[in-house]
Amino acid sequence: MLIQQANELNVLEVKDLATRFQTQDGTVHAVNGVSFFLKGGETLGLVGESGCGKSVTALSILRLIPEPPGRIVRGKADFLGKDLLQMTPEEIRQVRGAQIAMVFQDPMTSFNPVLTIGRQLTEPLLLHLGMTKKQAEVRAAELLEMVGIPNAADRLKDYPHQFSGGMRQRVMIAMALSCTPQVLIADEPTTALDVTIQAQIIELVKRLRDEIGMAIIWITHDLGIIAGLADRVTVMYGGYIIEHAAVKELYANPLHPYTKGLLESLPRLDQRRERLTSIEGMPPLLLEEPRYCPFVPRCTYAQDRCRVENPPQVSVAPGHEIACWVDVRTGELRS
């Protein structure tokens, strides 16, 4: 768990977070001892394919896991000296939206369809900042202008269905930024949008990050988006963090077989390939906590040790950690 190292500049430090879900088929081990930190003003990319535990990690930090069937079984989430996982329901409500905000994947399901956008935008301003109704309406119009919504004051009277998908996501970002949070968690906010709108949303978030100075956790399965957005990248698989590095280091020198496979499945302008490669097989079901490397069934580098023992995170370069027994450059076990 090397990447949990403390730093006085960290705004968020997650240690050994584990979350379980009870289902008819058994206990799903969705997140298994995740540790990472987030510095003020930086962007951390949290990447991996669907079902690897990215969203559950974010929801656990904000205590948004439905109980039952979910349960946070251990861990710590230190936010500016206070553990989010030990806060009372009232204390965590004061943090959500005001100090840590979240943008969800599908904005249509995040809005109340029978309330106007203005009503939903002003609610956090009234709740967290104590504004009057008039002050909140003025601020809400300013927020819509900030994210590029034309005729902002008039659009406050509209309902969510009267906005396009890209516009709804902009409104969602405006709502998340309404109280100037110190941390923004963006859970695949561009997945449902076309490529042009994706680029606009990413540029908008980068501009607002620089203007406001907030830290961002950007959750995605798209490594192409992360390349131009993040400072550091954390790769998840099977509920574990399996590689972590600065973004340039990770793209230039991926050292976990899974990360290597993800990058080789992407088209690259700087490399000529006959064809893209794919990672065969399916992610683990996680009905049991793996006692061996969870990537073994799909790994072309697997050795006998990988099948009997789950590797810990080890440092392979400054700021670069992996959880793998094998050196992908040689195909041999690490000494």
Read off the tokens for 132. 């009057």
Please check whether residue 4 is in contact with residue 35, taking contact to mean a CB–CB distance below 8 angstroms.
Answer: yes
The residue-averaged pLDDT of 178-184 equals: 87
Mean pLDDT of the chain: 87
Give the model's pLDDT for residue 3.
Answer: 52
Q: Is the pLDDT of residue 307 over 70?
A: yes
Interatomic CA distance for residues 46 and 239, integer angstroms: 12
Alpha-carbon dihedral 197, 188, 179, 13, rounded to 10 degrees: -140
Q: Give per-residue pLDDT as tens, 39-78.
A: 988 999 999 888 888 999 999 999 999 888 999 999 999 9
Indicate the pairing of strand 70-79 with strand 43-47: unpaired
Highest average pLDDT, of 7-11, 90-94, 264-268, comes from 90-94
Give the model's pLDDT for residue 273.
Answer: 62
Least confident segment among 21-30, 136-145, 259-268, 310-319:
259-268
**From the CB of residue 179, how many other CB atoms can be counted at a distance below 10 Å?**
17
Give the model's pLDDT for residue 276.
Answer: 67
Q: Is the pLDDT of residue 330 over 90?
A: no
Least confident segment among 8-12, 66-70, 324-328:
8-12
- The residue ranking higher by pLDDT, 182 or 148, is 182
Identify the burial level of 145 via C-beta atoms within 10 angstroms of its C-beta, where 0-12 means exposed, 13-18 middle and 19 or more buried: middle
Angle CA(91)–CA(92)–CA(97) in degrees, nearest 5?
A: 120
Q: Is the pLDDT of residue 10 over 90?
A: no
Q: Give per-residue pLDDT as tens, 238-265.
A: 999 999 999 999 999 999 999 998 888 7
171, containing H or E segment = helix 165-176
Q: Give per-residue pLDDT as tens, 138-149.
A: 999 988 888 888
Using a CB cutoff of 8 Å and minimum separation of 24, what contacts does 203-212 make? 204/147, 204/148, 204/170, 204/173, 205/173, 205/229, 208/146, 208/147, 208/173, 208/177, 209/41, 209/43, 209/184, 212/177, 212/180
Interatomic CA distance for residues 259 and 271, integer angstroms: 17
Give the model's pLDDT for residue 86.
Answer: 93
Alpha-carbon dihedral 120, 126, 127, 130, rounded to 10 degrees: 160
3-state DSSP assignment of residue 84: helix
Read off the tokens for 56. 């559950």
The residue-averaged pLDDT of 149-165 equals: 89
Give the model's pLDDT for residue 110.
Answer: 77
The residue-averaged pLDDT of 305-313 equals: 91
Amino acid present at 218: W
pLDDT band at 6 (very low <50, low <70, confident <90, very high): very low
> Global pTM?
0.87
Interatomic CA distance for residues 243 and 231, integer angstroms: 15
3-state DSSP assignment of residue 69: coil
Rg (CA), the chain: 21
Give the model's pLDDT for residue 254.
Answer: 92
